[in-house]
Amino acid sequence: MENKTFDELLLPVRNDIDRIDKQLLQLFIERMQCSERVAEIKRKAGIPVLNAAREQVILDRVRRDAGEYGDSAVALYSAIMSISRARQHTMLESGGALRALEQNSPRALLENPRIVCQGAPGAYSHSAALRLFPGREPVFLPGFGDVFEAVRNGDGDYGVVPVENSDAGSVSEVYDLILRHRMYIVGAADIPVRHCLCRAKGTGAVQKVISKQEALAQCTSYLEQNGIAGEVFSNTAAAARYVAENRPEGLGAVCSADAARVYGLEILAEDIQNTDNNCTRFAVIAREAVLPGDADKISLCFSLPHTTGSLYRTLERFALSGLNLTKIESRPIPGQNFEYDFYLDFTGNIHDERTLALICALSGEMPRFSFLGNYKES
Ligand SMILES: C=C(O[C@@H]1C=C(C(=O)O)C=C[C@H]1O)C(=O)O
């Protein structure tokens, strides 16, 4: 073989690729124009854009006809049909309610909101509320459900609730409440968790502590090393208050230094949590959406159609739109065995047209879809 350069060797086959791409592009444009004709028919007939059954027929056919390239052909046609549907959604202005929300929602939180949270003074929820709303002392309620009810019935403007701890994981009860109430998330903050071992002054050596379940889970190493048993209590601050008011011998509390100060407890050890970078993420819930111009976190939820690869194909659409998935949480749908709602967080801003178009498309296609908010993390 004469001494050909790589470019010379590649040239003929690249010419073939260029010829094929030219044909592919023409066929793609023709296919998009067919999709637009379908959209006009759907507009007149008032039928939804997504026809999952039709798409499954196409995917089954291309997998069969593509032979060894079957999987790749399915990925290609999934993307082609996603683009096709997106064009139809744009033409039909799908997600009208979401577009109206994007245009009409306030872009700033209330000036002097009434804040509600679970727990008691000195709880980590208290620290989060004051970080998010300086100077706005919260009203404390017994349970997370009470916080959601108070916001829903107007007794509070914003509720501050923990959604996840970096060590112990998601607060499932709160995600279930978010999915049940479908209120809006209008803010979030990560609060460092620094647990202390505390007791009432003048009481004896601590053999057992009380604290919230998640707090005990975050301090297993210290408690086990020191032979201290744990008993679940409603929350860390309430545990501190119980110990301060009852002064039980041998019983202490795991709580924050703030809570120890609020209730006059003696701090025996600080930073007893298993990991030093432990933090809890708190979300702010509200009845109405607030969509700041500089929001960078999108939260939404939906369940999945019963089609092969539906979660993958849905997440792929976010990736194709340049939106980075930062959280996914699946929770069982009450009363529907082994059916799940998916809660997702993405980076992005709803005021970006591409992002808005994608979320509007999903709102028309995904079962049980709710846009939960677009906010800036503090
Ligand atoms: C084109 C249609 O609309 C959508 C897009 C499809 C496609 O691009 O092939 C197929 C089914 C629908 O989800 C249709 O209903 O035929």
- Which residues participate in catalysis according to the annotation? 280, 282
Tell whether 296 and 242 lie within a shared domain. Answer: no
Q: What is the DSSP string of 320-376?
A: HTTPPEEEEEEEEPTTSTT-EEEEEEEE--TTSHHHHHHHHHHHHHSTT-EEEEEE-
Distance CA 74, CA 311 (A): 15
Q: Average pLDDT of 225-246?
A: 95
pLDDT for res 4: 87
Considering the domain boundaries, does residue 347 fall inside one?
yes
Same domain, residue pair 309 and 248: no
Q: What is the DSSP letter of 48?
A: -
- Give residue 56's domain range: 12-92
Q: Which two tokens stand for residue 358?
A: 């994608």
**Are 301 and 368 within one domain?**
yes
Domain annotation covers residue 186? no
In a domain, 190, yes or no: no
Residues 97, 369: Cα–Cα separation, whole Å: 13
Average pLDDT, the chain: 93
Q: Give mean pLDDT, residues 329-336.
A: 91
Tally of structural domains, the chain: 3
- Of 84-98, 208-222, 298-312, 352-366, least confident by mean pLDDT is 298-312
What is the signed CA dihedral for 297, 299, 304, 308, rounded to 10 degrees?
A: 10
Spatial separation of the C-alpha atoms in residues 300 and 345, rounded to whole Å: 7
The arithmetic mean of pLDDT across residues 162-173, rounded, is 89
Domain CATH for 340: 3.30.70.260
For residues 202 and 256, membership in a common domain is answered with: yes
Q: 268: which 2 tokens?
A: 């025996």
| pLDDT score recorded for residue 367 | 87
Residue 313: CB within 6 Å of ligand 1?
no
In a domain, 240, yes or no: yes
Instruction: Please report, for residues 70, 155, 237, the alpha-carbon distance to residue 116 in angstroms, rounded to integers and kept in the order given.
Output: 54, 8, 15
Highest mean pLDDT among 14-18, 210-214, 321-325: 14-18
User: Does residue 99 lie in a domain region?
Assistant: no
Query: 378 with 297, same domain?
Result: yes
Give the end of a domain, one of 235, 270, 305: 270
Do residues 296 and 372 share a domain?
yes
pLDDT band at 119 (very low <50, low <70, confident <90, very high): confident
Give dist(CA 151, CA 153) in Å, integer: 6
User: What CATH number does residue 19 fall under?
Assistant: 1.20.59.10
Q: What was the pLDDT predicted at 194? A: 94
- The verdict on 20 and 87 lying in the same domain is yes
pLDDT tens per residue across span 176-196: 999 899 999 999 999 999 999
In this structure, what token pair is assigned to residue 142?
Answer: 């017994």
Residue ID of nearest Cα to ligand 1 atom 6? 81
User: Is residue 305 over pLDDT 80?
Assistant: no
Q: Which residues pair with 163 in a beta bridge?
A: none
Q: Are residues 365 and 318 in the same domain?
A: yes
Residue 377 domain-assigned (yes or no): yes
Ligand 1 close to Cβ of residue 78 (< 6 A): no
Asked which of 42, 57, 92 is the last residue of a domain, the reply is 92
Q: Could you tell me the pTM of the whole model? A: 0.82
Beta carbon of 85 within 6 Å of any ligand 1 atom: yes
For the segment 234-259, the average pLDDT, to the nearest whole number, is 94
Asked whether the predicted pLDDT for residue 224 surpasses 60, the reply is: yes
Report yes or no: 91 and 36 within 8 Å, Cβ to Cβ: yes
Mean pLDDT over 299-304 rounds to 94
Joined tokens for residue 172: 């499932």
- In this structure, are 373 and 298 located in the same domain? yes
Task: Give the domain-ending residue among 62, 92, 122.
Answer: 92
> What CATH number is given to the structural domain containing 247?
3.40.190.10
Nearest protein Cα to ligand 1, atom 15: 51
275 belongs to a structural domain:
no
> Region 25-44: what's the mean pLDDT?
98
Q: Which of 257, 247, 197 is nearest to 223 (CA)?
A: 197
Residue type for 326, please?
A: T
For residue 146, pLDDT over 80 is answered with: yes
- The Cβ-side half-sphere exposure at 194, using a 13 Å CA radius, reads 10
- Residues 326 and 250 occupy one common structural domain: no
Indicate if ligand 1 lies below 6 Å from the C-beta of 330. Answer: no
Q: What is the ipTM of this complex?
A: 0.98
In a domain, 123, yes or no: no
